[in-house]
């Protein structure tokens, strides 16, 4: 699984905004596999994360994985972020949800900040108020990791993989699995994978 979500997380933190130690980033769906990889990689690199989730029970869990601030994805987000990090600027937002959630992230970004979209879990399109372009000069980018991989040179690929492999050797970036199914139960597995509020991935157990 390292090639999917951890690699995406690595590129999200390296491909768009030049971050320095102590810089803040913000992300939604922070409990997703990609979000958890972002938390761990950012923590290892010395960046601080504001993690937005839609379930209160995830707050302590994500804190224990290295998340600095964990907040609920609601209309109070902007004020809650201000209360949590004071006047610090957030120059990078990572969006895996779209719709209202993405708009809430945009509103937390500093002028000139960048929102990188890589998922659309809500199936809602981005809504970008013109004022955020005119007055805040926000930038909007997207990533599809397959495309990045295809276009990257072997050296660029290894520059991303080597640190991820090192983290994995230290038992970081582990992918949580909620349930494993035999291939004979493929239909049930797909239905389960489509459910919200999972604690981890649904996998196939090829030994059975």
Ligand X SMILES: NC(=O)c1ccc[n+]([C@@H]2O[C@H](COP(=O)([O-])OP(=O)(O)OC[C@H]3O[C@@H](n4cnc5c(N)ncnc54)[C@H](OP(=O)(O)O)[C@@H]3O)[C@@H](O)[C@H]2O)c1
| Pick 136 or 201: Cβ nearer ligand X | 201
Binding of residue 145 to ligand X (CB under 6 A): yes
Q: Are 202 and 192 contacting, i.e. CB atoms less than 8 angstroms apart?
A: yes
| Pick 89 or 190: Cβ nearer ligand X | 190
Q: How many residues sit close enough to ligand X to count as binding (CB under 6 A)?
A: 21
Q: At what angle do helices 33-45 and 154-169 cross, to 10 degrees?
A: 90
Largest CA distance in the chain: 58
> Beta-strand (E) ranges in 15-122?
24-27, 48-53, 69-72, 90-95, 114-117
Binding of residue 194 to ligand X (CB under 6 A): no
Least distance between ligand X and beta carbon 152 (Å): 13
Which of 141, 92, 147, 137 lies closest to 117 in space, CA to CA?
141
Q: Which residue is nearest to ligand X (CB)?
A: 119
Q: Which residues within the stretch 43-72 sit at the binding site for ligand X (CB under 6 A)?
A: 54-55
Binding of residue 144 to ligand X (CB under 6 A): yes
Please report where in the chains the tokens 């964990």 appear, as a residue.
Answer: 70
Binding of residue 4 to ligand X (CB under 6 A): yes
**Would you tell me which residues interact with ligand X (CB under 6 A)?**
4-5, 8, 29, 31-34, 54-55, 96-97, 118-119, 121-122, 143-145, 196-197
């Amino acid at each position: 699984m390292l090639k999917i979500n951890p690699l995406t997380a690595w590129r999200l933190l390296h491909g768009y905004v030049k971050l320095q130690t102590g810089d803040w980033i913000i992300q939604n769906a922070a409990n997703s596999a990609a979000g958890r990889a972002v938390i761990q990689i950012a923590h290892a690199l010395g960046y601080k994360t504001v993690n937005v989730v839609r379930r209160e029970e995830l707050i302590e869990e994500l804190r224990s994985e290295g998340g600095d601030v964990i907040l609920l994805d609601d209309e109070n987000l902007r004020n809650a972020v201000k209360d949590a990090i004071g006047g610090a600027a957030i120059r990078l937002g990572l969006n895996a949800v779209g719709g209202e959630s993405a708009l809430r992230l945009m509103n937390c970004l500093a002028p000139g900040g960048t929102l990188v979209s890589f998922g659309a879990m809500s199936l809602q399109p981005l809504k970008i108020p013109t004022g955020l372009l005119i007055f805040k000069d926000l930038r909007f980018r997207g990533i599809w990791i397959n495309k990045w991989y295809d276009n990257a040179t072997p050296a660029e690929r290894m520059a991303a993989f080597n640190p991820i492999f090192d983290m994995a050797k230290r038992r970081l970036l582990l992918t949580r699995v909620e349930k494993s199914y035999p291939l004979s139960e493929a239909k049930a597995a797909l239905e389960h994978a489509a459910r919200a509020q999972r604690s981890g991935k649904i996998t196939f157990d090829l030994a059975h």
